[in-house]
Amino acid sequence: MRVVSDAPVKTYTIGFSDPRHDEAPHAKAVARHLGTEHTEWYVTEQMALDLVPTLGRSTMNRSRTVHRFPRCWFVSWRGGRLRFCLSGDGGDEIFGGYSRYRMSEYASQLRGWCPGPIRKLPAKALAALANRRLVPKRWLRRLRWAADLLEAQDEVIGYARMMSSGRRPQELVYGSEELPSTFGQLVADPALPLLRRCMLMDLQSYLPDDILVKVDRAAMSVSLETRAPFLNHRVVQFASRLPQNCLTRQGRTKWILRELLERYVPRSLTERPKMGFGVPLAAWMRGALREWCAARLAPVALADGGLFKVESVQRLWNSHVCGEIDASVDLWPLLMFQEWKAASGPELSLSGQPHRTAL
């Protein structure tokens, strides 16, 4: 883009005060190397506190704040406002970039070494290590992934468990049950290498049903058009024909893209551990959002409607607040439901006998 553009390329990035989630310094270094007009915007806990209570009334309010500086490269600036931008969505799914792909392959090798009857032993051992926090925090998620992959009936079910955002609905919601996984309905030739199967499943589910839909809803709500060059059909077709050693090689993911990138940006600016674009939600829930969370998860608020198992939710919330576990993924859907219910007003009646629900 920088090479072919006659006008200066404008780039933007979002940063956080928590270094575990902050990529802004790395983006700034790349922007400086490429000579773009770069802007940083840091999201603070106070911004989250001001924004979150509005989500129940309009989920699009979030995009009105964030649309100014999404995590992508903007290419059109007309009349003082952004018209459209390019995003990197799809690059991981078609070039094998997610670390969970490697985790699936490692677990598959371990499954091959362990016969079915004894496979649960290492799975339970890994889960125990994770639950008791006997390893560094950065390894907890991977240990839980490995435990799920080993314990699952097959690799597809194991991958579905690893992709699940919440795994305890029956512990928190009356009459709830796990819905059948959509992964079992996806088309993935069992003759394909496991890496290709995981990538294909993401292309059919995670990418269109999560990544693309949330970006499109947020951007289009403020008339900002996003385009994903990686998902051009010719690029996807090209990637699907690549030999696997062009996707991963010597522990490096997206190998062919990294080789191409080095023509423009030195490796010293790009070679670092992969980060997802997440917010420090767990810390915010213990900090600026704590009072808001506590109000929505208070026993009297949870009891209204008879949906939630009050003691179980409270136990999970208390464990999160004291830092014993990170329960943000399990609690966030409940918080959003509670906020939506409160914003819906008295016309939404959920009182009566416990409802049978499926989450």
Query: Which residue, among 131, 171, 165, 168, has the nearest Cα to 147 in the 3D structure?
Result: 131
- Enter the DSSP assignment of 244: G
- At residue 221 the predicted structure's pLDDT band, cuts being 50, 70 and 90, is confident
Q: Which pLDDT belongs to residue 245?
A: 93
Architecture of domain 10-93+211-269 in this structure = 3-Layer(aba) Sandwich (3.40)
Alpha-helix runs per DSSP H in the chain: 24-34, 45-51, 61-66, 91-95, 99-113, 120-131, 137-151, 155-163, 169-172, 194-204, 206, 212-220, 233-240, 255-261, 281-286, 290-296, 299-303, 310-321, 328-344
Q: Which pLDDT belongs to residue 62?
A: 38
- DSSP structure string for 85-129: EE--TTHHHHHT--HHHHHHHHHHHHHHHS-GGGTHHHHHHHHHH
- At residue 331 the predicted structure's pLDDT band, cuts being 50, 70 and 90, is very high
Asked if residues 182 and 155 have their Cβ atoms less than 8 Å apart, the reply is: no
Q: Which pLDDT belongs to residue 33?
A: 94
- At residue 309 the predicted structure's pLDDT band, cuts being 50, 70 and 90, is very high
Q: Which pLDDT belongs to residue 73?
A: 43
Model confidence at 321: pLDDT above 60 = yes
Number of residues that make up the chain: 359
- At residue 186 the predicted structure's pLDDT band, cuts being 50, 70 and 90, is low
**Alpha carbons 335 and 53: distance in angstroms, whole number:** 10
Model confidence at 31: pLDDT above 50 = yes
In the chain, CATH 3.40.50.620 covers 10-93+211-269
Q: Which pLDDT belongs to residue 355?
A: 43
**Alpha carbons 247 and 115: distance in angstroms, whole number:** 30
Q: Which pLDDT belongs to residue 68?
A: 44
CB contact burial 125-136 (16+ within 10 A = b; e otherwise): ebbebbeeeeee
Model confidence at 122: pLDDT above 60 = yes
State the chain's mean pLDDT as an integer.
Answer: 79
- At residue 181 the predicted structure's pLDDT band, cuts being 50, 70 and 90, is low
**Alpha carbons 306 and 175: distance in angstroms, whole number:** 11
pLDDT for 38-89, tens place per residue?
988 888 878 877 877 666 554 444 334 444 444 444 444 444 566 778 888 9
